[in-house]
Structures are given as C-alpha cells and as structure tokens.
C-alpha cells in the first residue's frame, strides 16, 4: 500500500497505485508518491522539486 497525493488539489489517498481520476478533482490528475518520503522507503523520491534539477 502506498500513499498518493494529487498534484493539483493535494488530495491524499492510500492505494497500491494511483487512480486514473482524482476523486476530488474528477480529472486525470498527476499523483505524487507520498510514501517515499519516509526514511525506510527502498525507492527514491521522484519529486523534481526536491531534487532541484532543471
Ligand atoms: Zn485532485
């Protein structure tokens, strides 16, 4: 189970994978994997704002 946050409205939900449509926006929003912000996450953060690239 992972935690996801809508990139548009900040709607938070827990699911194995993000939904196609945001229940809050009713649109095809981008969902950010919020579960990887924890230290024990094996993956890497995929938020470009944190990495500061560009
Ligand atoms: Zn949304």
pLDDT tens by residue, 9-34: 999 999 998 999 999 999 999 999 88
- Tokens 């938020």 -> residue: 47
Return the higher-pLDDT residue of 3 and 50: 3
Residue 35's SS3 state is: helix
Find the 15 Cα to ligand 1 centroid distance in Å: 15
**pLDDT value of position 38:** 56
CA distance 43 to 49: 17
44 assigned to some structural domain: no
Find the 52 Cα to ligand 1 centroid distance in Å: 24
**pLDDT value of position 41:** 58
CA distance 28 to 47: 18
Number of independent structural domains in the chain? 1
50 assigned to some structural domain: no
Find the 31 Cα to ligand 1 centroid distance in Å: 8
23 assigned to some structural domain: yes
49 assigned to some structural domain: no
- Give me the domain span that covers residue 25: 2-37
Residue 54 has pLDDT above 80, yes or no: no
Find the 44 Cα to ligand 1 centroid distance in Å: 23
């Amino acid at each position: 189970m992972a935690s996801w946050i809508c990139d548009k409205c900040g709607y938070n939900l827990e699911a194995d994978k993000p939904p196609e449509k945001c229940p809050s926006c009713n649109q095809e929003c981008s969902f950010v994997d919020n579960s990887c912000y924890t230290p024990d996450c094996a993956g890497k953060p995929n938020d470009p704002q944190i990495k500061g690239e560009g």
